Amino acid sequence: MSTDAAGRTFDLRALLAESGVGAVLDELDRELVGLAPVKLRIREIASLLVVDKARAELGVAGAKPSLHMCFTGNPGTGKTTVATRMATILHRLGHVRRGHLVAVTRDDLVGQYIGHTAPKTKEVLKRAMGGVLFIDEAYYLYRPENERDYGQEAIEILMQVMENQREDLVVILAGYKGRMDTFFQSNPGLASRVAHHIDFPDYSVEELEAIAEKMVTALGLRLSPAARQALSEYLALRREQPNFANARSLRNALDRARLRQARRLLEAGSVDAPMLTTIEAEDIRASRVFDAARSGTKAEEAAC
């Protein structure tokens, strides 16, 4: 058996294709715009798991790699979206058994009174077993200003499960870069248990335009050429303003443009099919972002 196995060659590509991960990875490339470092890291993880699979067939199975991850990046850069895909990918590769995603925040883990936190955290962990646990804004778990905060207890239970039941679930922590760094500095035990730190870059205007195109198409609408131009000007202005949340801000802007479009159409009275499905430049140019740019102020409200 061993001599036989030693002489075998492994078609890793076939193994990858067989797991159906290739399709998920291609889908990731096609549907998610930009995010080059993220995609690269996901491909690396997928490759590692495929190679491990081949090794396991050879009978030199090592311990399962620790795949706990930390996603850092500004709001709206696609952390949750990628986490959902990650669950599917890890499931196809056989690293997790079910491939579901349980998304939680501090409120779901930390209790209100003494003795409330442990059962609450454990319940969430049990629900996530066999899949991926996604903790959004994980740095809220640790509140250094209050030494009796129950967040620490949740972190301890989390660490214990991350270590002991590595094969049962994958934990993904997410949050803004600076605050996650502080969080890991104050919880070195947790930092050492998270093997993969992936940083999500901000989108460029071109990437945001490509995302807008996809969003609009998904809604069954389209942008007129003038609207496209208006949107790119809008994005260039909006990016410079405070509270810019990348794709999320874009989605909100498009939602408001749809509102304005609906009002415009009602005022017009009778419309034809192309009008119903087209967002015009005036729908976008009505945004207060342009007003603010014109008057030169950067009021907080201008974000609308």
Taking CA atoms, 33 is separated from 29, 81, 233, 269, in Å, by: 7, 12, 19, 38
Point out which span in 18-26, 161-169, 220-228, 239-247 binds other proteins (CB under 8 A): 161-169
**Residue choice 168, 233, 280, 282 for contact with other proteins (CB under 8 A):** 168
Nearest CA to 33 among 234, 217, 281? 217
Is residue 93 a contact point for other proteins (CB under 8 A)?
A: no
Among 129, 205, 215, 245, binds other proteins (CB under 8 A): 129
Q: Does 100 bind other proteins (CB under 8 A)?
A: yes
Max CA pair span of the chain: 80
Q: Give the C-alpha separation, 25 to 21, whole Å.
A: 6
Q: Which of 116, 126, 263, 288 binds other proteins (CB under 8 A)?
A: 126
Size of the site for other proteins (CB under 8 A): 14
Closest C-alpha to 248, from 200, 186, 298, 189: 200
Angle made by CA atoms 303, 182, 45, in degrees to the nearest 5 = 90
Is 119 a binding residue for other proteins by CB under 8 A? The answer is yes
Residue 168 or 282 with smaller CB distance to other proteins: 168
Nearer to other proteins, 33 or 124 (CB): 124
3-state class of 219 per DSSP?
coil
Cα(132)–Cα(160) distance, integer angstroms: 16
Nearest approach, Cβ of 56 to other proteins (angstroms)?
19
The site for other proteins (CB under 8 A) is made up of 97-98, 100, 119, 123, 125-127, 129-131, 165, 168-169
